[in-house]
Structure 1
Amino acid sequence: MSSTSKRMRLAMVATAGTVATFAAVGSAYAVDGPQPIVGGEIAHTADAPWAIQMSNVNSPASSGEYCGGTLVAANKVVTAAHCVEGTSTSEWTAVQGRDDLNDSSTGKESKITDIWYDPAYGNGAHDVAVVTLATPFDGVATLPLNQDTSVGESGSTATVYGWGDTEGTGPADTFQKVDVPLMGDATCGSAYGGEYVGTGEICAGYDEGGKDSCQGDSGGPLVLGGKLIGVVSWGNGCADAGNPGVYSEVATYYDELTAQIG
């Protein structure tokens, strides 16, 4: 993938990888900073209990903030392949129910015991993964997967959730959300050309920009009608005019994800 145009939405400008990879991009993080939800509003995990924050021990953020995810079963979290590719289970802690990542007295935590990501990832789209929790989040509401592949063309307004810095549009390390209209494959293909994969990706945003997911939101949920329709994947910049956010289309990978969720 082209790193100049296809900017994965991790907590730093890099693909997930080994400790050496994290160290190598440390200066990039210092310049760009983690830039999650842009132009959104404060949200509460009590209203979106299935939203999961994925902390990584190698994150330069003091909170460990690195990626997002969605609780789809008591012990299963859907996230992005580019978050977990090349990482080990020991690096991760899943956090549920914590609005402010700096308040460790709130919410639940679990280590993870298994990582699966789509084996076709890296050949265009397929940016989906499932991790297994060591300690299930029993009693927490889960979010069902969308199966309707026509949703991306509907023009409906979906909501994306995440934590972190906001390019100055909100407080850092705080759970936020933003509403973004689905733009359809033709618009997304016009914006990104061959890098956008219509079968397997959907995109959302505004022609004028201003509202978007961003770095640190990778793997997090795009939600419509009470279902997970997308997984935060990539974009050119964040909330820039003419460059919508791109999400893995859950309906495309429904069978693969369901097989892993059990």
Structure 2
Amino acid sequence: MLIRAALAVGVLVLASAGTAPAVAEGPRHLIVGGTLASTSEAPWAIALLNKDSADPSGQWCGAVLVRPNKVITAAHCMTQALATYTAVQGRAELLDDSAGQTSAISASWIHPGYNRKNYRNDFAVLTLARPLTGVPTIRLETNLKADRKGVVPTVYGWGDTQDTGPEDTFQKAAVPDLGDAVCLGIKQYAGGGYAASNNVCAGYLAGGIDSCQGDSGGPLVLNGRLLGTVSWGKGCAEQGFPGVYAEIAPVATTLQARINDAQVR
């Protein structure tokens, strides 16, 4: 399965079903089949940049602001030294250095249940060195029933568009919740670690619209709450393979405790 972080030059992590990740080439850049989004409609959306990124903008992953000095991202995004990351808010075009607020990362916490083989509990809570002032935060979804077939959450990010849109530019896409049974019915997903208790299955079986590389850790939002974060999938927008998101509600209490902890490490 393909995790959706934009990694360093020449490194893109792939995992075949039931096996440890292998290595292939190619950084890639934005939500596939999405539409342009305004940072004012999703002010809590964060671009997580990294000095080791192959992208000219430094784009690496997505994240979401849950407190002025705390963001949630994907655990699998946190592979580099902490000092190499920068959180950016309010910048629709990442190459426009004049827009938005930025902060270094002063501390990180990886969910203790995070599993690198199947990406269970794919969450990290980061502490910003400088709080982002005047920016609305987003609430965590706490209702386990929010993940249900038929609802239509929206995913946001600056990741790979596969030439369906401009690179390094904030985009969004509506991705219907297909229900856990759909992803569990896909052999590669069931074998790759999809779990109804940990994941949200969302997207289009026909393909064409999906989150992609560089979107990992970014927000999946339903009714103004954080339903999940971008985690993994087979390819991007491939027919028969929707996106897999790390589900917030089952771990909301654990995450909230870390968000409230001023000394999170």
**51, 57, 62: which one aligns with 2:56:** 62
What's the offset of the Cα at 1:207? 1.5
Counterpart position of 1:28: 25
1:134 aligns with 2:129: yes
Residues 33-58 of structure 1: CA distance to partner in whole angstroms, max 9, x if unpaired? Answer: 41430000000101110000000111
Matches of 1:35 and 1:203, distance apart in 2: 22
Matches of 1:230 and 1:35, distance apart in 2: 21
- The alignment yields a C-alpha RMSD, in angstroms, of 1.5
Please identify, of 174-183 and 143-152, the stretch whose mean Cα deviation from structure 2 is larger: 143-152
Matches of 1:91 and 1:260, distance apart in 2: 22
| Cα pair 1:155 1:181 within 8 Å, conserved | yes
1:245 aligns with 2:238: no
Residues 186-213 of structure 1: CA distance to partner in whole angstroms, max 9, x if unpaired? Answer: 1110122232111111110111011100
What's the offset of the Cα at 1:66? 0.3
| Cα pair 2:90 2:100 within 8 Å, conserved | yes
Matches of 2:114 and 2:138, distance apart in 1: 23
| Cα pair 1:155 1:182 within 8 Å, conserved | yes
Structure 2: gaps of 5 or more residues: 15-21, 261-265
Q: Report the number of matched residues.
A: 244
**192, 213, 216: which one aligns with 2:214:** 216
Structure 1: gaps of 5 or more residues: 1-5, 16-23
Task: Quickly say closer, same or farther: Cα 1:196–1:164, change in 2 above 3 A.
Answer: closer
What's the offset of the Cα at 1:139? 1.2
Residues 18-76 of structure 1: CA distance to partner in whole angstroms, max 9, x if unpaired? Answer: xxxxxx97x712xxx41430000000101110000000111011110000000000000
Counterpart position of 1:11: 6
Percent identity over paired residues: 50
Q: What is the 5 A alignment of 1:1-262?
A: 6-12=1-7, 13-14=12-13, 28-29=25-26, 33-84=27-78, 86-122=79-115, 124=118, 125-191=120-186, 192-194=189-191, 195-262=193-260
More helix by share: 1
Q: State the secondary structure of the residue aligned to 1:172.
A: coil
What's the offset of the Cα at 1:149? 1.2
Matches of 1:129 and 1:256, distance apart in 2: 11
Matches of 1:216 and 1:98, distance apart in 2: 15
Q: Counterpart of 1:70 in structure 2: which amino acid? A: V
Q: State the secondary structure of the residue aligned to 2:252.
A: helix
Matches of 1:151 and 1:159, distance apart in 2: 14
Matches of 2:37 and 2:108, distance apart in 1: 28
| Cα pair 1:165 1:171 within 8 Å, conserved | no
